[in-house]
């Protein structure tokens, strides 16, 4: 969730990057939705490439971006993505465990942060693909998560811009306000109401799930902000105009999709996590 800085009274506001954000979203959102709808290896390919990007950006943020470490993580994540895409989940997990150990050894002085980054990227990869692999409700579940994250971000942006007020956690993220957090939370409930109105699930459980995912999404945003603050970094990269890097754009989604998969897994198992998330 991104909110603009408060503009002092009597001064002119700085030029907004809202136009760039909107243009980037108009390009990236349809692409993500199209590949999510296609599913299969196309969605797995996108997720794998993004997960590799997340790991590479994480290493740069924490100051551990060596060629050997980045290459090792890239190879392991690529193998994991290939395996899980074609049904070899156990092989993907074993590969991830072995690869994570190798990444940790290569990192040396930054081994804790490198291991955390690899775990972060691996969790994003596995959860994103497994939720979609549900043959019955995978696409609906994935769209539910994406929409909750997106409207939480959008609602937070405009509530923070229009209302302002007390800061949420100024030491970690000076831009975020309580108004933005509550505005994003309220907006996320509309997604659940819409799904329920379309007969895709019962209203009360979906509202509760949406509430959980919205809060988790915002916590994921704060977590990434705390990591960047720890290392004195403003943006993870400048890959996406108006948004920064993949970490900046997907921090909330990574946390939300992992939480979504856990909820679905606990209810309907590994291969029906999508149904476990939206069918009540």
Residues near 280 by beta carbon (within 8 Å), at least 6 away in sequence: 201, 202, 205, 206
Q: Is residue 27 assigned to a domain?
A: yes
Q: Is residue 115 part of a domain?
A: yes
Number of structural domains the chain divides into: 1
Residue 135 lies in a domain: yes
Work out the burial of residue 179: count CB atoms within 10 Å of its CB; fewer than 13 is exposed, 13-18 middle, 19 or more buried: buried
On whether residue 6 sits in a domain, the answer given is no
Go through 42-74 and write b for each residue having 16 or more CB atoms within 10 A of its CB, e for each that does not. ebbebbbbbbbbbbbbbbbbbebbeeebbebbb
What was the pLDDT predicted at 18? 67
Looking at the domain assignment, is residue 4 inside a domain? no
Which residues constitute the domain of residue 131?
A: 18-278
What is the pTM assigned to this prediction? 0.90
Q: Is residue 52 one of the residues assigned to a domain?
A: yes
Q: What is the pLDDT of residue 242?
A: 65
Among 149, 132, 145, 129, residue whose Cα is nearest residue 37: 132
pLDDT given for residue 10 in this prediction? 39
- For residue range 103-137, what is the model confidence (pLDDT) as tens digits? 999 998 889 999 999 999 999 999 999 999 999 99
Q: Please report whether residue 78 resides in a domain.
A: yes
| Residue 2 belongs to some domain of the structure | no
pLDDT given at position 17: 64
Q: Rounded to whole angstroms, how far apart are CA atoms 245 and 31?
A: 17
- Which of the residues in the chain have pLDDT under 70? 1-18, 242-243
- As a whole number of angstroms, the distance between CA 193 and CA 259 comes to 20
Using alpha carbons, select from 7, 14, 12, 18 the residue that is nearest to residue 164.
7
What per-residue confidence (pLDDT) applies to 5? 40
- The pLDDT of residue 12 is 40
């Amino acid at each position: 969730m991104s909110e603009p800085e408060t503009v002092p009274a009597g001064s002119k506001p700085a030029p907004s990057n809202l136009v760039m954000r909107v243009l980037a979203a108009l390009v990236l959102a349809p692409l993500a939705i199209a590949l999510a709808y296609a599913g299969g290896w196309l969605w797995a390919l996108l997720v794998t490439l993004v997960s590799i990007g997340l790991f590479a950006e994480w290493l740069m943020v924490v100051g551990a971006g060596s060629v050997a470490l980045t290459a090792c993580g890239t190879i392991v994540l690529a193998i994991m993505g290939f395996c899980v895409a074609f049904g070899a989940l156990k092989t993907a997990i074993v590969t991830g465990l072995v690869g994570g150990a190798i990444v940790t050894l290569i990192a040396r002085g930054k081994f804790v942060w490198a291991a955390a980054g690899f775990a972060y990227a691996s969790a994003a990869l596995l959860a994103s693909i497994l939720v979609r692999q549900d043959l019955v409700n995978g696409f609906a579940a994935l769209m539910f998560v994406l929409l909750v994250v997106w409207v939480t971000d959008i609602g937070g942006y405009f509530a923070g811009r229009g209302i302002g007020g007390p800061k949420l956690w100024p030491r970690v993220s000076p831009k975020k306000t309580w108004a933005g957090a509550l505005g994003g939370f309220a907006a996320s409930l509309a997604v659940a109401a819409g799904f329920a109105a379309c007969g895709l699930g019962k209203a009360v459980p979906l509202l509760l799930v949406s509430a959980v995912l919205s809060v988790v999404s915002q916590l994921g945003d704060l977590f990434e902000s705390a990591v960047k603050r720890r290392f004195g970094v403003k943006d993870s990269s400048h890959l996406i105009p108006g948004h920064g890097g993949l970490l900046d754009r997907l921090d909330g989604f990574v946390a939300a999709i992992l939480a979504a998969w856990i909820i679905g897994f606990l209810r309907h198992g590994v291969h029906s996590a999508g149904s476990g998330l939206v069918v009540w």
